[in-house]
Structure 1
Amino acid sequence: MSTILITGCSSGFGLETAKLFLERGWDVIATMRKPNPDLLPPSERLRILALDVTDSESIADVVKNAGPIDVLVNNAGFGAPAPVELTAPETVQSLFQTNTIGTLEMIQAVAPQMRQRRAGVIINVTSTVTVKPLPVIGVYRASKAAVNAFTESLAIEMEPFGVRVHIVLPGRSPQTRFGENARPHLRGMDNADYAPLLQQFVKAVQEDTGPVTYAPDVAEAVWRAATDLSAPLRIPGGADAELWMTEAGM
């Protein structure tokens, strides 16, 4: 029986991914800052563990308690819309600590066991905002682009050990708490120079009627990465993600 550990399972992509793998017979370790057993159906194949990816001790404890991990999914993260100039230093630090360093530390904690077994899969969930420049989310974009960059190198480094590495890139999702969690970090509406740009950004998001990403799309992309030996390094996580990656030549 294969075991998957997923970070950020309290909602959105992580929660949907945990449900899908449970439904398909896997042992699932669903992690979140504040464990809530009501989020997932009861199962002997499910463990819900407390994990804060910004806390090295928390990471070490979870990996120790998890036992052998066949697939690691780094999904935990958040956004903070603001012009680069106006992004608060503490927000920059928090974005990179959660989105980038947290992902890196999870990999460093789990990769040794996979390397020793000569088997395993590491899947990092980033974003299609990394494939083209966009305003207002520059620092968030940078935190995810950094994950893309070290994941590309990691894939080369782990291949001799039989460990596959993939990047799942979701698009914009109306189903997750991403926007809700990002809203408190919005900066610049009271700045005369940046307010028009921010208003235009918010309006564009609200009025966008194009294709979007749904949580099951991302779960299926993670499933493909975990189970398809021929899966590419980068896998789009939704209809809009496919469009953006095609336009970017990926």
Structure 2
Amino acid sequence: MINNTLSSYSNLDAIDIKQRTIRELESTLTASPSLPFSNSSPQAWLVLAAAVFLVSVPVFIEAPLVRSQPSLCLAMTGFWVFFSFNLMSRPKTYIWGDLLFGFSWSWLAGAIYWGWLRWEPLWHLPVESLGLPFAFWCLARNWGKVGNWFYLGSLLGTALTDVYFYLVGLMPYWRQIMRVEPDAAVGVLQNALIKVDTPWGAAWAVILALVLLTIGILPLGRNQRHWYAFSGAVLSTIFVDSLFLLAAVLA
């Protein structure tokens, strides 16, 4: 009788453990960045908004900070990686850790370039591409899709912006503005605007903006979180570049 009772309790414990395991697995799968979801899901737009914000961070926060504290910015990469893995350790925050992990590549590249190599624009894209092999390696193993696609979208936006600088002949002004004092930068910006405010400069601005809009909007129909992260990173390039142009005009 006692043996039968103990056996029954043991079976109940085994069933309870199995049920908890199933619930945890279902929770993890629900948080997985690869699963499709409804376009009306608030999280879809949160991923998009977070991607836009994270593209803006290196431009408007890291770039000014790294001029005076390059070593600190470089060391902060370790913090972003640690924080991202901490978030990924929990199903409910996995997607945000994934996104932050991809952001850490952009931060690392920004710390290196804007800290020590900003005077030479030809080094910009190669340095920004430092995380590219690792991103492809992760995607080949279907790991970190949200963060790695965010990084690829950010890199694509950077590449097209640099292409515009090459085509319009703005590279000499880039070199000048990185070497002159802030008071003299206004004159350099005004000279650069003369290049932009031409039929050639305006035409290429429209062409590349349309390319970015197309590449950024089309993936939104695929209904997966990593594509929203990619689109947010690409579309934010237009926003960031427009703000730079506005700042140059006002200067």
TM band (smaller chain): 0.3 to 0.5
Higher RCO structure (Cα 8 Å, ≥6 apart): 2
Name the structure where helix makes up a greater proportion of residues: 2
User: What's the TM-score once normalised by structure 1's chain length?
Assistant: 0.34
Name the structure where strand makes up a greater proportion of residues: 1
User: What's the TM-score once normalised by structure 2's chain length?
Assistant: 0.34
Look at both structures and tell me which one has the larger radius of gyration over its CA atoms: 2
